[in-house]
């Protein structure tokens, strides 16, 4: 029997207080992580997630240190300060989940340029800065037998060109971070840091609320698996990518979407 785990590992999850980031945090709690750091913009959201993860840990007989620190990682200086604070608490980082993201939808001619810029700052620039800042701690953790891991959250939207409700900045940002991740994999692989990208399809989270509420029939009928993603789909994939069993996996973009990337979607925009 193969035991896929993250025993003893230290992980940081941006956007870890809800949605996909929180799903990943849950799986790390249940599968051996020693320390999990979660961050998002609001401290109350971080603290609520910490309380839930502490409860999950206790109920399942796990010993995990959960650290919650709020940070607007799209703010360069704030992110640098966040790194300085985190680096006083840990001396290595086995896993960086660069997951925080935002979306904004509007028609082409009404779409604010500022909204595109804001999405790109968080979804692309902050991903780059997360790798840049935490690189020393990742180097401290990685070995040839078990490299440190960077997982970048992209999207099925990075590989299909059908409409996603006028989310122009989001579509561009997810294509960008997918390519960034592949480039980083070639550079960091020799340093015992594996970089991989996950490309989720439609999961019922706060970010996808509009699409799920307004376009359920279209999204389910278009998907070869005829359903939305479930948290276990994310958890199992990311856990494997961060486990010792995936040591030789570097630079992939893994669709977690039931095959949606193969067929695209019908027109989703209501605009």
The answer to whether 83 is a known catalytic residue is no
Angle between helices 113-120 and 168-188 in degrees, nearest 10: 20
In this structure, what CATH number is given to the domain that contains residue 222? 3.40.50.720
User: How far apart are the C-alpha atoms of 211 and 162, rounded to whole Å?
Assistant: 14
pLDDT of amino acid 204? 81
Pairing of strands 148-153, 10-14: unpaired
With a pLDDT cut of 90, the percent of the chain lying above it is: 82
The pLDDT of 178-198, averaged and rounded, is 98
Domain count, the chain: 1
pLDDT of amino acid 271? 44
Instruction: Reduce the DSSP state of residue 16 to 3 states and report it.
Output: coil
Strand residue runs (E) in 130-235 = 148-153, 193-200
Q: Is residue 31 part of a domain?
A: yes
> pLDDT digits over 57-106, tens only?
999 999 999 999 999 999 999 999 999 999 999 999 999 999 999 999 89
Burial of 217 (0-12, 13-18, 19+ CB in 10 A): exposed
Catalytic residue among 22, 170, 228, 261: 170
Q: Is residue 149 part of a domain?
A: yes
> pLDDT digits over 258-271, tens only?
999 998 876 655 44
Q: Is residue 65 part of a domain?
A: yes
User: How far apart are the C-alpha atoms of 137 and 141, rounded to whole Å?
Assistant: 7
Q: Is residue 141 part of a domain?
A: yes
Total-model pTM: 0.94
Q: Is residue 4 part of a domain?
A: no
Q: Is residue 1 part of a domain?
A: no
Residue 154 lies in domain: 10-263
Mean of per-residue pLDDT scores for the chain: 93
Q: Is residue 270 part of a domain?
A: no
Q: Is residue 3 part of a domain?
A: no
Confidence of residue 166 (pLDDT cuts 50, 70, 90): confident
Task: Kindly report the length of the chain.
Answer: 271
């Amino acid at each position: 029997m193969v035991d896929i785990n993250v025993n003893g590992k230290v992980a940081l999850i941006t956007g870890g207080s809800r949605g996909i980031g929180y799903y990943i945090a849950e799986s790390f709690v249940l599968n051996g992580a020693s320390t999990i750091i979660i961050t998002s913009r609001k401290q109350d959201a971080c603290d609520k997630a910490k309380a839930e993860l502490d409860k999950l840990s206790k109920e399942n007989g796990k010993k995990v240190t959960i650290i919650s620190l709020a940070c607007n990682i799209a703010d360069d200086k704030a992110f640098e300060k966040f790194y300085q604070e985190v680096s006083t608490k840990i001396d290595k980082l086995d896993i960086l989940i660069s997951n925080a993201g935002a979306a904004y939808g509007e028609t082409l001619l009404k779409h604010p340029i500022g909204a595109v810029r804001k999405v790109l700052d968080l979804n692309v620039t902050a991903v780059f800065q997360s790798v840049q800042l935490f690189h020393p701690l990742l180097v401290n953790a990685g070995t040839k037998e078990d490299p440190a891991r960077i997982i970048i959250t992209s999207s099925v939207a990075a590989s299909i060109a059908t409409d996603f409700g006028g989310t122009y900045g989001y579509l561009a940002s997810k294509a960008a971070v997918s390519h960034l991740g592949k480039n980083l994999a070639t550079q960091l692989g020799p340093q015992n840091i594996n970089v991989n990208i996950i490309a989720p399809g439609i999961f019922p989270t706060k970010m996808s609320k509009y699409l799920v509420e307004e376009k359920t029939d279209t999204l389910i009928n278009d998907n070869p698996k005829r359903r939305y993603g479930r948290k276990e789909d994310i958890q199992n994939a990311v856990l494997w990518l961060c486990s010792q069993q995936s040591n030789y996996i570097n630079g992939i973009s893994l669709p977690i979407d039931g095959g949606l990337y193969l067929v695209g979607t019908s027109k989703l925009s209501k605009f």
